[in-house]
Copies of this chain bind each other. A is one copy, B any other.
Amino acid sequence: MSYPYAMESSVRVFAPATVANVGCAYDILGFALEAPGDEVCISLSTEPGVRITAISGDGGRLPRASNQNTAAVAVQAFLRQIPLEQGVEIEVHKRMPLGSGLGSSAASAAAALHGINYLAGTPLSQTELIPFAMEAEKAACGSAHADNVAPALLGGFVLLRSYEPLDVVPLPPPPNLYYTVVHPEIELRTEDSRRILKKEILLKDAVVQWGNIAGLITGILQKDLDLIGRSLNDILIEPERSLLIPGFESVKLAALNAGALGCSLSGSGPSLFAFSASLQTSQAIGTAMGSAFADLGIKTQKFSSLINCSGPTLIKPSTHRAA
């Protein structure tokens, strides 16, 4: 990978928001969005160590400490494998809501990793960056999950077949599969959404779920949008987590009535995603879902596009450079 406009000591990177727990595929599948996403400016510095020099767009809520901020934790993990002589300064520009269920922490970590890997001469593949981003997720939320960071780094759909050992399988999206993502301006804590889940489930329910998971994977790989829609059905996680989202049922119904192939929670919520077969439909779905939330007095942000297949991208050298 080479970028003619690249600078050797500083680079600005966009990394995408992501949808994890895609319907039935809890904890094993995610995909990347064209928007929203985060921007990170990463610069080599004569001063040793990894420092967060600025954060914007977070309302002052993100930690600045290098052992807590996901971008800094990810870069430090990278540097343990690929040591550099210089220090690293990181600006994080949040362009997406925190706590939205859209992989906010993963986007910052993915952008920072793509940037530091580029500045180091791209010694590692995008896939090799995933474990560093998982360390950042662990710092951010206590669990080294990969279903946001893997699609944020690779683009497209990504299957996490296994964690021990880590086995990451990219799945090319159907070329005409559009997403709608709607973020209601309410906030959930991931821990609450995890806590609400039952630890034990019925084998017969698991069989229904994994039939749908197999159908979803088949639909993605065979570019069968109807099969994707039939398979999105999540009988285990969504019924419990959706209790935390005011108006979930009416918003989902609005999406389906507007032509969605299927609709479910993004990550642990509160955002929802839907799939459809055209940009026009995906936008109409966003409008319908936004109206359903508005009926409850809840403001929303809406995003519609094809699935992001490129992962993180370099942005033209910015004027926001670290000293």
Asked if residues A218 and B159 are in contact (CB atoms below 8 Å), the reply is yes
Residue of B nearest to A169 (CB): B218
Contact A214 B212 (CB under 8 A): no
A245 to chain B, nearest CB (A): 20
Distance in Å from the Cβ of A117 to the closest Cβ of chain B?
26
* A198→B203 contact, CB < 8 A: yes
Report if A161-B215 is in contact (Cβ < 8 Å); known contacts: A28-B207, A209-B210, A210-B28.
yes
The CA-CA distance from A212 to B197 in the complex, in Å, is 22
Is the C-beta of A298 less than 8 angstroms from some C-beta in chain B?
no
Counting every copy of the chain, the complex holds 2
Shortest A241–chain B CB gap in Å is 13
In whole Å, how far is A221's beta carbon from the nearest beta carbon of chain B? Answer: 4
Q: Are B214 and A214 in contact (CB under 8 A)?
A: yes
Q: For the complex, count residues of A whose C-beta is within 8 A of B.
A: 38
- CB-nearest residue of chain B relative to A230? B167
Listed from nearest, the 9 A-B pairs whose CB atoms lie closest are: A161-B215, A206-B206, A221-B221, A210-B210, A28-B211, A217-B217, A27-B207, A210-B213, A161-B211
Pick from B169, B206, B214: contact of A159, CB under 8 Å: B214
Report if A227 contacts B (CB, 8 A). yes
Most chain B CB within a 10 A radius of its CB, from A203, A204, A236: A203
Contact A203 B203 (CB under 8 A): no
Contact with B along A160-203 (1 / 0, CB 8 A): 11100001010100000000000000000000000001111111
